[in-house]
């Protein structure tokens, strides 16, 4: 497990979630969920805020969870959220925004999977020294 990568993913996710909760149009615009004038409807803003808070909470879990089962669980929850986003947004967003939304969701999920599944390589002598890569 690459703890540093998971913590970084968590920090970015938490910050993004807080910002989008405050300004949902930052997610609505690239997702094609605005009107012709670029405005985000109140119902759309209301719908996006819980998703943003979900990301903020999940990101904080990755940042704060102790290494071990708690961090692993937080990572799998993040991965499940990304997979769900990819499936649901890919099926429901306006056509022009689908590919980008799916790519972003799958990309963040894949980064989390890679960090979770990566082995830390130990020193060649097997003496438990510092990792060659972390």
Burial 31-55 (b: 16+ CB within 10 A, else e): bebbeeeeebeeebbeebbebbebb
Encoded tokens for 108 = 């963040």
Split into its structural domains, the chain has a count of: 1
In a domain, 30, yes or no: yes
pTM of this prediction exceeds 0.85 = no
Domain of residue 109: give its range.
Answer: 3-117
Which pLDDT tens digit goes with each residue over 4-33?
999 999 999 999 999 999 999 999 999 999
In a domain, 122, yes or no: no
In a domain, 132, yes or no: no
In a domain, 129, yes or no: no
How confident is the prediction for the chain on average, in pLDDT? 91
In a domain, 47, yes or no: yes
pLDDT of residue 123: 46
| Alpha-carbon distances, residue 133 vs 7, 8, 16, 66, 68 (angstroms) | 16, 16, 28, 20, 19
Q: Does the pLDDT value for residue 98 go beyond 80?
A: yes
In a domain, 133, yes or no: no
**CA torsion 51→57→60→62, rounded to 10°?**
-80
């Amino acid at each position: 497990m690459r703890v540093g990568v998971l913590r970084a993913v968590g920090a970015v996710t938490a910050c993004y979630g807080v910002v989008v909760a405050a300004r949902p149009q930052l997610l609505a615009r690239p997702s094609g969920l605005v009107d012709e004038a670029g405005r985000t409807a109140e119902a759309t803003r209301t719908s996006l805020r819980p998703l943003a808070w979900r990301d903020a909470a999940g990101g904080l879990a990755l940042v704060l969870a102790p290494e071990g089962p708690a961090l692993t669980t937080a990572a799998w929850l993040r991965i499940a959220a990304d997979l769900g986003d990819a499936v649901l947004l890919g099926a429901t967003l306006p056509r022009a925004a689908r590919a980008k939304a799916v790519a972003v969701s799958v990309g963040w999920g894949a980064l989390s999977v890679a960090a979770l599944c990566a082995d830390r390589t130990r020193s060649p002598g097997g003496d438990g020294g510092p990792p060659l890569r972390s």
